[in-house]
């Protein structure tokens, strides 16, 4: 059974209101661009109550949007733990090798942290209805 998350560069879209008036939900889409085929796909839609403050709703959406990248990093961290465990078959008796694999994850971790922090400056303004209102 295929049980890997959708591949590619995940991206969370702007928050939209589900309807114009109250009560509404915050709706946003997670899409991905496959690095090999360049096929753009919708992974799913996140729907949150409109009672949630917009900043918090946007942070929640960003966090879910980074789930694929976080899963890949955690998978690698698990491999490093196996490499440093004498009881494990993957054990390598070298702290330098473990550190090397860990440091290879630094760019991915920095990118995730930057994405979770959200946009700054003018780009931090809520980007509502970039693609128009959902009917």
Partner 1 sequence: MTQVSFPQGARVGFISIGPWITPAWHDEYRQLAARIQTELGITFPSLDRVACWRTATDHVLMRNSYADAGVSLGYGEAAIWMAIRNDREFRLRSTWRDLKPAAERWLNDVSSRLEGAFARLGCMAAESQHQLRLAA
Residue pair 16/134 in contact (Cβ under 8 Å)? The answer is: yes
Residue pair 32/9 in contact (Cβ under 8 Å)? The answer is: yes
**79 or 134: whose CB is closer to partner 1?**
134
Residue pair 80/89 in contact (Cβ under 8 Å)? The answer is: no
Smallest gap from residue 10 Cβ to partner 1 (A): 10
**89 or 120: whose CB is closer to partner 1?**
120
**88 or 133: whose CB is closer to partner 1?**
133
Q: Which residue from 68, 82, 80 is spatially nearest to 35, judged by alpha carbons?
A: 68
Smallest gap from residue 85 Cβ to partner 1 (A): 34
What residue ranges bind partner 1 (CB under 8 A)?
A: 9, 11, 13, 16, 29, 31, 33, 35, 37-42, 111, 129-135
DSSP 3-state of 19: coil
Smallest gap from residue 64 Cβ to partner 1 (A): 16
Token look-up 């400056």 returns 121
């Amino acid at each position: 059974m295929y049980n890997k998350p959708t591949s590619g560069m995940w991206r969370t879209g702007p928050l939209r209101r589900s309807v114009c008036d109250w009560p509404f939900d915050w709706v946003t889409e997670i899409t991905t661009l496959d690095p090999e085929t360049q096929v753009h796909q919708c992974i799913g839609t996140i729907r949150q109550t409109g009672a949630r403050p917009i900043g918090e709703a946007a942070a929640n959406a960003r966090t879910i949007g980074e789930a694929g990248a976080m899963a890949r990093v955690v998978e690698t961290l698990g491999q490093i733990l196996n490499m440093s465990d004498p009881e494990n078959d993957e054990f390598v008796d070298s702290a330098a090798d473990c550190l090397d694999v860990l440091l290879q994850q630094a760019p991915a971790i920095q990118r995730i942290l930057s994405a979770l922090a959200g946009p700054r400056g003018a780009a931090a303004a809520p980007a509502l209805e970039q693609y128009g209102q959902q009917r």
